[in-house]
Amino acid sequence: MTGRALVRVELAGIPGAGKSWLAAYLAAEVERAGLKVAEPGRRVGPDVGAVQRLSRKAATVAAAAVREPALTRALARAVAASGQPGVQDVAARIVQWQVAQGALRHLPPDDEQVSVRLLDEGLVQSLWSIGLRGDVQPSLATLDASDRWQAADLLVVVRTPPAVAAARLASRASRHSRSQQLSPEDLLAELQRGDQLL
């Protein structure tokens, strides 16, 4: 192969749908076929220690703000206008967006031979998170008004019945999904709403 052809693949789905599991499975299969795979979301995933994860996210957000200040401001205004339940939710949605954009934009220098980049937290998942507890329209309008954002080349929507996803979330030892903090009834209702939104 001459040069590098990079395909960016985003997996989107409700919490508990199996995005992380599918990403790991796909990465192994693609590498078995002889292509190098990057999973940039693992650098900031729940398996990474909290201090390291937060510092990596902070560095990504700061780099995005320097690289795309106008888009960062516009996105922050759009998320603030979305009616999120609290300031912490607004901040979390902005960070999620910037981390997804950072994962789509850049490869570390030692990953120049990567052919496939798999994301289980990309643009669509960020928009879904905004829309789950607020109005996604201001963010969509911001994207419409700019060509400075990145999207995956291929979107894979992982569909799982909400009741199955709820059972998976309940059986997880980790509690990194904000949906996992809900009562079983509220969790199922949120997953059903999230499935419709997706």
Give the pLDDT confidence of 61-93 residue by residue, as tens digits: 999 889 899 999 999 999 999 999 999 999 999
Does residue 11 come out as left (phi exceeding 0), alpha (psi in the -120 to 50 range) or beta? Answer: beta
What gap in Å lies between CA 10 and CA 78, rounded to an integer? 23
Distance of CA 75 to the CA centre of its chain: 16
What gap in Å lies between CA 103 and CA 8, rounded to an integer? 10
Give the per-residue SS3 of 101-128: HHHHHCCCHHHCCEEEEEECCCHHHHHH
Top pLDDT among 47 and 4 is at: 47
Give the pLDDT confidence of 9-55 residue by residue, as tens digits: 999 999 999 998 999 999 999 999 999 998 888 888 877 888 998 89
Residue 146 has pLDDT above 80, yes or no: yes
Instruction: Specify the pLDDT at position 1.
Output: 39
Give the pLDDT confidence of 155-195 residue by residue, as tens digits: 999 999 999 999 999 898 777 677 888 899 999 999 999 99
Give the pLDDT confidence of 114-137 residue by residue, as tens digits: 889 899 889 999 999 999 999 999
What gap in Å lies between CA 195 and CA 18, rounded to an integer? 14
Instruction: Specify the pLDDT at position 2.
Output: 41
